């Protein structure tokens, strides 16, 4: 099954390429099942964002519509995620990955670096994922990709449950962090401007769905209260996408713990909104 936003059957013709990585082998979460997310998000997108009237089928679009050509190439293994991103970027297309546990982003971001150079990372997460003392898992993404990212132009957003080691790392590397309370105090428009001002050309967006409050996104691997509102995340995403992004991933949806599939629906919807916001020439 393809995500409902897919509108071409042809890789060569596409401007954006969606793929899934149904792998949670490097998760330590008590909740299992993020490997089910690529299938579930596609399934729910076709149930909730598609309207059928007799034999007529149409997609419920974002208000701006979607004019990009989007190809869903299906799922790939974790070990092929990096190569897949290199193939997509080398063809001047935008990759959108659906995980899987967050460590899948490590291979993806290394490949972005390989093809496009230092990455301006915008990293949505409740957790900094900055544990260097135990590497190569879903809690060490930042530590593992440090050589690939341009710290001065990167931002972590939604952070609200760091371990002491992570607080120390964030300070040592002067990583820019926006907490949910920062957004409440300063407002999302101001915070978004700051993220855009910092970011350079090669912007990669990684979304751990646990950045969002469990009220909006209960079906995640490691839920944490007091999170971002879904519209706040959307505001930042659309602003980044409008200016151009190199790629994006959507990780850690855990369908088995969802409530009425609302987290999968939100993930599908957010991908659709990003697709509608990408500038005309994606190269
Ligand atoms: Mn994470």
- For residue 136, what pLDDT is reported? 87
Q: Is the pLDDT of residue 17 over 70?
A: yes
**Residue 208 CA, ligand 1 centroid: distance in Å:** 5
Domain membership of residue 176 (yes or no) is yes
CA distance 32 to 237: 27
> What is the rounded average pLDDT of the residues 116-133?
97
pLDDT at 282: 47
CA of residue 124 relative to chain centroid, distance: 8
Q: How many angstroms is it from 54 CA to the middle of ligand 1?
A: 42
From the CA of 185, how far away is ligand 1's center (Å)? 24
Contacts of 251 (CB under 8 A, 6+ apart): 34, 97, 98, 99, 100, 101, 102, 104, 105, 206, 207, 208, 209
Mean pLDDT of all residues in 124-149: 95
| CATH at residue 267 | 3.40.800.10
Give the confidence band of 135 by pLDDT, cuts at 50, 70, 90.
confident
pLDDT in tens, 37-95: 999 999 999 999 999 999 999 999 999 999 999 999 999 999 999 999 999 999 999 99
CA distance 163 to 81: 29
CA of 129 to the centre of ligand 1 (A): 6
Please give the C-alpha separations between residue 85 and each of 102, 221, 261, in angstroms, as whole numbers.
Answer: 16, 24, 28
Rounded distance between C-alpha atoms, residue 158 and residue 214, angstroms: 12
C-alpha 162/C-alpha 15 separation (Å) is 37
Q: How many whole angstroms from 55 Cα to the centroid of ligand 1?
A: 42
Terminal Cα distance for the chain, rounded: 27
Considering the domain boundaries, does residue 9 fall inside one?
Answer: no
Instruction: Tell me if 45 is assigned to some domain.
Output: yes
Centre of ligand 1 to C-alpha 65, Å, is 30
Q: Kindly state whether residue 89 falls inside one of the protein's structural domains.
A: yes
- For residue 282, tell me if it sits in a domain: no
Buried b (16+ CB within 10 A) or exposed e, 46-77: bebbeeeeeeeeeeeebeeebebbbbbbebbe
Q: How many A from CA of 209 to the centre of ligand 1?
A: 8
pLDDT confidence of 252, banded at 50, 70, 90?
A: very high
Average pLDDT, the chain: 97
DSSP class per residue in 171-230: HHTT-EEE-HHHHHHH-HHHHHHHHHHH--SSEEEEEEGGGB-TTT---BSS--SS-B-H
CA of 58 to the centre of ligand 1 (A): 34
In a domain, 8, yes or no: no
Within-domain flag for 167? yes
Residue 141 near residue 102, CB atoms below 8 Å? yes
Taking the centre of ligand 1 as the mean of its atom positions, its distance from the CA of residue 97, in whole angstroms, is 14
Check pLDDT > 70 for residue 106.
yes
Structural domains in the chain (count): 1
Q: How far is the CA of 9 from the centre of ligand 1 (A)?
A: 32
Q: How many CB atoms lie within 10 A of CB 26?
A: 18
| Res. 263 pLDDT band, cuts 50 70 90 | very high
Domain with 68, as residue range(s), is 16-277
CA of 126 to the centre of ligand 1 (A): 7
| Residue 143 is assigned to a structural domain of this protein | yes
């Amino acid at each position: 099954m393809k995500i409902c936003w897919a509108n071409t059957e042809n890789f060569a013709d596409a401007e954006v390429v969606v793929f899934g990585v149904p792998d949670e082998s490097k998760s330590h979460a008590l909740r299992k099942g993020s490997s089910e997310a690529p299938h579930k998000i596609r399934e729910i997108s076709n149930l909730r964002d598609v309207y059928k009237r007799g034999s007529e089928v149409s997609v419920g679009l974002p208000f701006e519509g979607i004019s990009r050509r989007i190809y869903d190439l299906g799922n790939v293994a974790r070990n092929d995620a990096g190569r897949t991103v290199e193939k997509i970027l080398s063809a001047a297309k935008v990759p959108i990955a659906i995980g899987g546990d967050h460590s899948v982003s490590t291979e993806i971001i290394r490949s972005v670096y390989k093809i496009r150079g230092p990455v301006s990372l915008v990293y949505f997460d409740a957790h900094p994922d900055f544990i260097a003392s135990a590497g190569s898992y879903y809690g060490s993404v930042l530590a593992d990709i440090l050589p690939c990212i341009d710290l001065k132009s990167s931002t972590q957003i939604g952070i609200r449950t760091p371990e002491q080691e992570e607080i120390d790392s964030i300070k040592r590397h002067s990583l820019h962090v926006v907490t949910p309370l920062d957004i409440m105090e300063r407002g999302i428009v101001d915070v978004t401007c700051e993220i855009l001002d910092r970011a350079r050309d090669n912007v990669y967006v990684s979304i751990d769905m646990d950045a969002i409050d469990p009220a909006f996104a209960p079906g995640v691997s490691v839920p944490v209260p007091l999170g971002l509102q879904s519209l706040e995340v959307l505001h930042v995403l659309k602003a980044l996408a409008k200016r151009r992004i190199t790629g994006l991933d959507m990780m850690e949806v855990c369908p088995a713990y969802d409530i009425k599939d609302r987290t999968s629906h939100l993930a599908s919807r957010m991908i659709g909104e990003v697709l509608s916001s990408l500038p005309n020439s994606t190269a």
